[in-house]
Amino acid sequence: MTWFREMAAFANAVSNLSGQAAARDAQGVKALAALRSCAPIFRNSVGRGPSRRQRNAAAAILDACADYARGDLAVGDRALNAAGNRIFLRSDGRTLPTRGGTVAESRVESRFSRVAARLSGVPGTVVRCWSLPDWVSLIAERSAYTGGAVDLRGRVRLRGSRVNLAPRMCGRLVQFVYGRALPGGRVKLQLTNTVLTLAHETVHVSRGADEGVATCYGLQKIRPASVELGASRAYANSLAELAWTGLYPYGLARYHSPECHDGGRLDLHPRSAVWP
């Protein structure tokens, strides 16, 4: 895990330098000069890594360094992203089988993926449901790479169209979609949070967006998401209303926006009186 942390620190530093170099001002000239030393600094401070997977990732980093040394920032940025993909090949980056229904193994969930693609508007968007052992492995790697900044409910792969959902999140969706469960009370609140998480992550796929914006747009996608998953319009409406009154007011500050209200700047349907 130490190598992951060192790799993350180096990759973040290089990414920041690339952003500065793109400005082409005096600071950018200095940043570009620093990028030309990318490869020797990486070899001395991070190294090849103890495993084959880590050595492959290191090779991708050095490819990025070569691009930066030539002054090709865009190609270098793509190669830097590819290095991250190789790091997580064992978990986040690995190929999963496509399955639907009540399945315990890690898989691309076929029906959830169709819904996510429609919500995001991005063809090829997939929802990856993980077994508990695989999810623990994925979180451990991500946590080491990011210094602990990991959303345990779900996340979108960096610059990609893969929505990764925690086992309990997929389990609730499986009961909702395939078991036709229409819960009330506390279980309904949990289901609402799960549908909101799915909708929220599809916003990251299509728009990027910070957490506050993604949450606000996700709230407004709960109704169509629930209907696409098989709920009646009445039940979908009740989930959206519960998300607004029972979840949103109590969420972390970074998931809020002062513009998230009926008629606000983030209102996707400003001419409609329906909210969210």
Question: What pLDDT, on the 0 to 100 scale, is given for residue 152?
Answer: 53
Whether 37 and 137 map to the same domain: the answer is no
Instruction: Answer with the one of 63, 87, 111 that is the final residue of a domain.
Output: 87
**Same-domain check for residues 124 and 243:** yes
In a domain, 267, yes or no: no
With a CB cutoff of 8 Å and minimum separation 6, the contacts of 154 are 163, 164, 165, 166, 169, 197, 198, 200, 201
Instruction: Evaluate whether residue 16 is within a structural domain.
Output: yes
Give pLDDT, residue 87: 63
- Compute the distance between CA of residue 265 and CA of residue 228 in angstroms, rounded to an integer: 26
Domain shared by 165 and 198, yes or no = yes
Residue 229 located in a structural domain: yes
What pLDDT, on the 0 to 100 scale, is given for residue 146?
57
Q: Do 117 and 7 share a structural domain? A: no
Residues 40 and 145 in one domain: no
Angle, helices 26-35/2-21, rounded to nearest 10 degrees: 140
Whether the model clears a pTM of 0.75, i.e. scores above it, the answer is no
183 and 239, same domain (yes or no):
yes
Total domains, the chain: 2
Domain boundary among 59, 87, 115: 87
pLDDT for position 16 = 82
d(CA 234, CA 213): 26
pLDDT at 160: 66
214 shares a domain with 134: yes
Check residue 85 and give its pLDDT: 61
Q: Pinpoint the alpha helices (H) of the chain.
A: 2-21, 26-35, 38-45, 52-69, 73-87, 110-120, 132-146, 167-177, 185-207, 211-220, 222-228, 233-242
| Same domain assignment for residues 173 and 43 | no
128 strand-pairing partners = 108, 164
Look at residues 269, 274, 256 and name the one whose alpha carbon lies nearest to residue 216. 256
Residue 225's nearest CA partner among 162, 276, 149 is: 276
Same domain as 226, residue 110: yes
Residues 13 and 120 both lie in one domain: no
**Residue 7 falls within a domain, yes or no?**
yes
Look at residue 263 and tell me if it is in a domain: no
Nearest CA to 115 among 48, 194, 57? 194
Q: Say yes or no: 121 and 55 in one domain.
A: no
Assign residue 134 a region: left if phi > 0, alpha if psi is -120 to 50, beta otherwise?
alpha
Beta bridge partners of 156: 163
In a 13 Å sphere around the CA of 199, the CA atoms on its Cβ side amount to 27
In this structure, are 69 and 200 located in the same domain?
no
Range of the domain at 178: 98-255
Q: Splitting the chain (276 residues) into consecutive groups of 10 residues, what average pLDDT does each group show?
A: 76 84 84 91 85 80 90 85 63 81 94 96 93 84 59 53 90 96 94 96 84 94 97 98 95 89 96 94
